[in-house]
Amino acid sequence: MKKTTGIVGLLAIWLLINAVQPLPKLYVIGDSISMRYGPFLEKYVQGVWQYDRKSDDGQAAKNLDVPVGANGGDSRMVLEYLKLKTPDKTFQPDVLLLNCGLHDIKRLPETNVIQVDSASYRKNLEAIYQLLKKRNIRLVWMRTTSVEDERHNTRSKAFKRYARDLDDYNRIADEVMQKHAVPVIDLYTFTRSLGSEHFVDHVHYDDSAMQLQAAYIAGYLQANRSLILKRK
């Protein structure tokens, strides 16, 4: 009887400990695409992840093409941001959900010079991975959503983007993430499957698409939660 009581007591303690364990922390860094599906994603992961992201007081939303504050910008900006954040021991997400690419492939109309060349993009992603690895922060990569040349470049006068560049940079990111066995969420293919009618401007999407994007991401994170958290 005493043995049974002891086992029951230990089980009760184990259940109590696990009941109060905090949810794993998910931190998001991405461009304006992630800013727009972000509120839906936060809602969908509630009770499964503690959601947080690079944020501001609303300044990034004033012009989604200018990466400030909550808008992570290009890979160079993300790397510099993480160089500042990772030394801070209070910055300890379990998982960093990351995307950068759309700002990297901007081209000046006058010169056709690309904002971040492909070699630098690869180098930046490698450096980002190594920074996070040192802090034992698990990385999940998000493939960059699509660009349609005519749609984008008839609507955007300040800079150009091209699908061929986006395909090249997604391929580079695929290679870097595969090398390090980093999980990849293919938001590019998923969003393309929704159709072009969901665009509301040169690269952004309507509410229905954003909700579906968030649901797709949340579904991946929930289905693969244990595997993601086991990775070192």
The pLDDT value given to residue 175:
98
The pLDDT value given to residue 164:
98
Taking 80 as the threshold, does the pLDDT of residue 7 lie above it? Answer: no
Mean pLDDT across the stretch 205-221?
98
Mean pLDDT across the stretch 8-12?
48
pTM of the predicted model, to two decimals?
0.90
The pLDDT value given to residue 5:
53
Are 114 and 107 spatial neighbours (Cβ–Cβ below 8 Å)?
A: yes
Taking 90 as the threshold, does the pLDDT of residue 2 lie above it? Answer: no
Summarised one tens digit per residue, pLDDT across range 124-181 is 999 999 999 999 999 999 999 999 999 999 999 899 999 999 999 999 999 999 999 9
> What is the percent of the chain where pLDDT is above 70?
91
Summarised one tens digit per residue, pLDDT across range 106-127 is 999 999 999 999 999 999 999 9
Binning pLDDT at 50, 70 and 90, where does residue 20 land?
low
Rounded CA-CA distance 49/24 in Å is 5
Are 225 and 48 spatial neighbours (Cβ–Cβ below 8 Å)?
A: yes
Binning pLDDT at 50, 70 and 90, where does residue 232 land?
low
Taking 60 as the threshold, does the pLDDT of residue 211 lie above it? Answer: yes
Binning pLDDT at 50, 70 and 90, where does residue 51 land?
very high
Summarised one tens digit per residue, pLDDT across range 63-84 is 999 999 999 999 999 999 999 9
Mean pLDDT across the stretch 38-60?
97
Closest to 210 measured CA to CA, from 55, 31, 40, 72: 40
Domain 24-230 has CATH 3.40.50.1370: no
In this structure, is the dihedral angle defined by the CA atoms of residues 25, 30, 34 and 39, taken in order, positive or negative? positive
User: To the nearest whole number, what is the mean pLDDT of the chain?
Assistant: 92
